[in-house]
Structure 1
Amino acid sequence: MSATGPTAAARGVPCWVTLMTHDLPAAQDFYAAVLGWRFRPGGLGVEFSIALADRQPVAGIGALLPSWQVAVAWMPYFAVDSADETAARILERGATVAVGPLAVGDGRAAIAADRDGAVFGLWQGQTLSWAVGNGSAPSCLELRTRDAFDAAIFYAEVLGWASKEPGSCDVTYEHDEVMVRDGDQTVAALRGGGVEAAPDPHIRPRWHVYFPVEDIEKVTAAAVAAGGTVTPVTPTTVSTGCQAVIRDPDGGLFTVSTSPDVL
């Protein structure tokens, strides 16, 4: 995540996404070939970079430190007033704080996992000019979990969703799905089946990122050529457009979609 920036995101709102990977140069090559991203230093050292599309920040890619016991995955960060207080609330509710909170530039950050094991980040401080659903930033974030309603309670308690305070996210429960909105923009969806089974036995509970693209066939062909895989087929046609699930060579999983309204 960026250490500095021109804005302060509202509390509980997704404010950034980052891929933590084992091989930063290889990841940059893959995403440049597949999504056309360019990269610049992120201000946090040589092991972190910011991806740009049309000169606008899209995401961060960083190298996993040996001491960070987290899997290769795309991970959302949520804006909080206090990383330390939020981390304490996470621990109080039986979840895990894997890294931090620690000072990062002018802010504070932490990496946590919810009670079902889905990994997410906390960020206290200024942010880049970035928002879910804006330009080439992710179209939406989706939590794939075992019990969406229980997850919604957890995140509402630790991030202040549905608190009725100014600027907090609204939450609605619709057809066994929990939708999270920042004003009129849907920024996240929480989806899951029964408590004892994940929605897909091949995918562990996790936050999943959707990136907008114009040409599914071109993107998926480039992903395969660059050493990635497309799961389960390419492309998958849905009512909201075409989508394809891609796994990068290091295991990072994400979805590309031709529709800005993926949910």
Structure 2
Amino acid sequence: MNHDSRRPGGTTDVFSTHAVFGAPCWVSLTTRDQEAAEAFYTAVLGWEWRPALLGDRFRMAVVDETPVAGIAAVATMWQMAVAWTPYFAVRSADEVVARVQERGGTAAVGPLSFPPGRAALLADRDGATFGIWEGELVANWGKWRRAAPTFIRLHTRDAFDAAIFYGEILDWASDRPGCCEVRYEGGEVVLRSEGDIVARIRSGALDAAPDPTIRPHWQVHFAVSDVDACARAAERHGGSVLSKGGTEAVLRDPDGARFTVTARRAR
């Protein structure tokens, strides 16, 4: 996981997971070729890159002086899949890992200490991978939310079962101050934090049986001003366009990681 607690100006941001919990707070890419990944995402999303505290294999993407995402060239070394992974803010990494295991999920890595916090890489009951982060956030959460992903979406076999799983481990819809709200809207389970949509969970139709052909996974949707331009840039720089509609395009980078670009107003 790629975290640097320093703001570009050198000061420390103390906005922590104790103030914002249960909501997505970071996204990170594991890849085999760091330089190629940096060049691709610079061309497609306009990102700039900076060093992170964790060493040469880790880098941080920055947009308008705000850290937005991490990249870790550890897919081969750690035998991890090439993929984008969302991280959720939690008050206690140890408690969440225990809850995940009690409810049939998997603790793949951690919790490990990455000052100024702790992280773990987990999988839900259906195998969708996600991370958790306890401690100081990379940047002011509101700034990150506006500058980084529009939202994240879980594609899974049973949206309601997944919502129960994540709700129990992340305290969604609880009576604790600052928790996320969960509702069923437009055929999806929708997660809101401070009124904004931050995650969606999708499966089949409401009365349909779970679809066994779906490979459960979290998809990161990056907000962009021009979906078509991003799709063209992806193809010119070694990636591919898997699907494209009016406000979204599902892209694949040269190393195989999938992500979605979403028109900035398509919330």
Do both share a fold (TM > 0.5)? yes
Shift of 1:77: 0.4
In structure 2, the partner of 1:182 is: 193
Residue pair 1:17, 1:60 contacting (<8 A) in 2 also: yes
Partner Cα separation in structure 2 for residue 62 and residue 160 of structure 1: 29
Aligned to 1:166, the other structure's residue is in SS state: coil
Question: In the alignment, which residue of structure 1 is the partner of 2:228?
Answer: 217
Deviations 1:217-238 (A, max 9, x none): 2211110010000012xx412x
* Alignment partner of 2:16 out of 8, 17, 28: 8
Matches within 5 A, 1:1-263: 1-4=2-5, 5-6=12-13, 7-9=15-17, 10-64=20-74, 66=76, 68-127=78-137, 128-131=139-142, 134-193=145-204, 194=208, 196-197=210-211, 201=213, 204-232=215-243, 235-237=244-246, 242-262=247-267
- How many positions carry a matched residue from both structures? 253
Q: Which amino acid is 2:26 matched to?
A: W
Q: What SS is found at the alignment partner of 1:139?
A: strand
When normalised by structure 1's length, the TM-score is 0.90
What is the TM-score normalised by the length of structure 2?
0.89
- 2:8 aligns to what? none
Partner SS for 1:158: helix
Letter in 2 for 1:99: V
* Over 4 Å off, 4+ runs: none
- Find the aligned partners of 1:74 and 1:163 in 2 and give their Cα distance: 28
Counterpart code for 1:39? W
- Alpha-carbon deviation of 1:215? 1.8
Shift of 1:211: 0.9
1:86 alignment partner, SS class: helix
Structure 1 spans left out of the alignment, 5+ residues: none
Contact 2:203 2:210 in 1 (8 A): no
Alignment check: 8 A CA contact 1:15 1:131 kept: no
User: Does structure 1 conserve the Cα–Cα contact (< 8 Å) formed by 2:68 and 2:144?
Assistant: no
Deviations 1:17-59 (A, max 9, x none): 1111111111101101111111001111111111011222111
Percent of aligned pairs with the same amino acid: 50
Q: Contact (CA 8 Å) 2:93, 2:118: kept in 1 or not?
A: yes
1:175 Cα offset (Å): 4.6
Shift in Å, 1:92: 0.5
